[in-house]
Every structure is written in structure tokens, then in C-alpha cells.
Amino acid sequence: MNPEQLTSLSRVVDPRYSSNRLVIVGAAAAALIVSVSSLAGFDLGSGPLLAAVGVFLAWAIARELDPDRPASAAIAIPLSFVLLLVLGPASLLVSTGILLGTRLAAGTVGTPLRPLDIGGIIVVAGLLGTDLIGAVGVAAMVVGVLISERRRARGFGIAIAATTTFTVVGIVSDVQRTWAAPGTTAWIVLAATVISVLVVIPAPSPTSSTDRLTGTLLRWRVTVARAVAGLAVVAGFVLVGGTGIAALAATATAALTGTAIRQLGNGLNRANDRQSDSRRTVRQ
């Protein structure tokens, strides 16, 4: 059976597309580097699987934040690995919540949530309830659901169910708040996140269609997705300090920074083109 018939949140990584091939190679390279380093006696602070999945999530989030331009996701791949080396592996579960939230907010798939999607969101919310930083992932999903469902009763029902599940699991797990003072590197990463958000908001008008070809993506929804990713990192910092920054540095921050670098690069290229045109006009 075609997975698209069961879920509106899935996206097949088709190796026929260059961006998809790049993330496959990037994730494999990250896992290989960590494995070889471990065998050589160098502990990079992460296992091969964590490194590979972290790189993939950074790429996937960047694809939601900048759906027209795969270059942003390509830049996010090495950034993710560098941030992993600097701050350690990201929280894959919280990052998955951010990915789902940004995908729903941006509307890149283009079809309503199916029962399997709704069940998956509630299950992920429950898993996130075992740690306070999980609130960031749940909040991202709730925002995405409300936007995707256009604030209909079903959307509020899903949001309430996810939030309630998260809260109940948190109470049962006796989650405690511990705020860790950020180190210098964490402060730099937080500053980079905030600057990146300021650079990429508002998003340019997208030209891409949804995955299911149900229409062209909307600028305001892509802008909201970018805001969700940035606010998630800031909220993580507010909730648990440096631990919250590290939890999303190699995924959400890498995706946002990759998008900002790509956008700034395009802006510089356009400025150089205009300058060249004006010089030619003067010479004529």
C-alpha cells in the first residue's frame, strides 16, 4: 500500500532527487566519521546513529523552512555535524516534534491529517512528556495542527488531546525543572539562532506546490514555520537553559542558520548583479 494513502505527514526520500541524495550521503558520512573516530579512541560525544539522524532532521527541517531552495538544507547538513561536535547530539524526539510542527505550519504536504497522523502526534506528545524540554516539541506540533486544521473544532480537539497526554505523562513521570547555565558556546549558538530568525522572517513568496499538488505554498505559512523553529530554541533556553539550546542546536538552529546563510548569499548576489548592471549603464 502507498504510504501516502495512510498518512499526510510522510515524505519519501527519493534518491532520484539531488537534495535527497545529498542528505543520504551526509547522514552516512556523519555516522562513518563518528564510528571511525570512536575506533581510533576519539570520543566525539555521539553515537553513529544519533549523528546520522540529527543530520537528517536538520536537513528535513530546513526543507520545511525554505521549500523552494534545497541549498538551505544542503548548508544545514555540515552545520548540524559541527554543532553536534560543539554542543553534543540534539534531542531527536524534540527535534521530531519541531519537524512535524514546521511541516504542518508550512503546509508543504498539502492534505488534511489522517487518523494515523493524529494518533502519531498524540503518541509523540506522550513520549515528549518524560522531559520538560518536550514542551517545546508539543507546542510546535500544536501550532502546526491549529494552522493546518484552520482552527476548526477537530484541530482544537487534536491540540487538547496532545497537550493533555503530554501533561499526564509529565505528572506521572514526576518531571522536575533544572535550569543549566549556558556556556559561552551555547550563548553564541542562541545569538546565531536569533539573528537567523531576524534574517529569514518574513519568508519570500514561495513558488513551489505542495507535495500532493493541491496548490502553491503560502508565504505567511512558511513564515510561521520559520518563527516556530526559532521560538522553539528560545523557549528551550527559557525552560532549561543551556540544555535546551544543545537539544536543538544541531537540528533547528542548523536549519535556521542554513536558511539565513542561503538567503544572505542570494541577497549579496543580487546586489552585485545590480551593481554590475549600473556600471554597464554608466559606460554606455
Q: What are phi and psi of 182, to 5 degrees?
A: -70, 145
Which ranges of the chain does DSSP label H, i.e. alpha helix?
18-39, 48-65, 70-87, 92-106, 115-128, 134-148, 153-172, 184-200, 219-240, 242-248, 254-283
Asked whether the predicted pLDDT for residue 166 surpasses 60, the reply is yes
The stretch 20-29 carries a mean pLDDT of 97
Q: How far apart are CA 213 and CA 1, in angstroms?
A: 20
Contact 200, 256 (CB under 8 A): yes
What pLDDT was estimated at residue 10?
82
What pLDDT was estimated at residue 271?
58
Residues with Cβ within 8 Å of 117's Cβ and at least 6 positions away in sequence, in order, are: 7, 8, 9
The CA-atom distances, in angstroms, between 111 and each of 6, 213, 244 are 11, 9, 32
**Helix axes 92-106 and 48-65, enclosed angle (nearest 10):** 20
What pLDDT was estimated at residue 156?
96
Lowest mean pLDDT among 56-70, 199-213, 218-232: 199-213
Closest by CA to 51, choosing from 75, 29, 36, is: 29
- Over residues 31-66, the pLDDT tens digits come to 999 999 999 998 888 899 999 999 999 999 999 999
Residue type for 1, please? M
The CA-atom distances, in angstroms, between 126 and each of 94, 101, 105, 137, 166 are 12, 15, 21, 11, 5
- Over residues 137-163, the pLDDT tens digits come to 999 999 999 999 987 899 999 999 999
Contact 125, 162 (CB under 8 A): yes
Stated length of the chain: 284
Q: How far apart are CA 229 and CA 93, in angstroms?
A: 14
- Over residues 74-110, the pLDDT tens digits come to 999 999 999 999 999 999 999 999 999 999 999 998 8
Residues with Cβ within 8 Å of 272's Cβ and at least 6 positions away in sequence, in order, are: none
The x, y and z cell numbers of residue 69, run together, are 531552495
Q: How far apart are CA 284 and CA 278, in angstroms?
A: 10
Q: How far apart are CA 88 and CA 86, in angstroms?
A: 6
The x, y and z cell numbers of residue 25, run together, are 550521503
CA 45, distance to chain mean position in Å, is 22
- With bands split at pLDDT 50, 70 and 90, how would you rate the model's confidence at 250? very high
Q: How far apart are CA 176 and CA 132, in angstroms?
A: 7
Residue type for 86, please? V
Asked whether the predicted pLDDT for residue 134 surpasses 80, the reply is yes
Q: How far apart are CA 269 and CA 253, in angstroms?
A: 24
* Annotated domain spans of the chain: 3-283
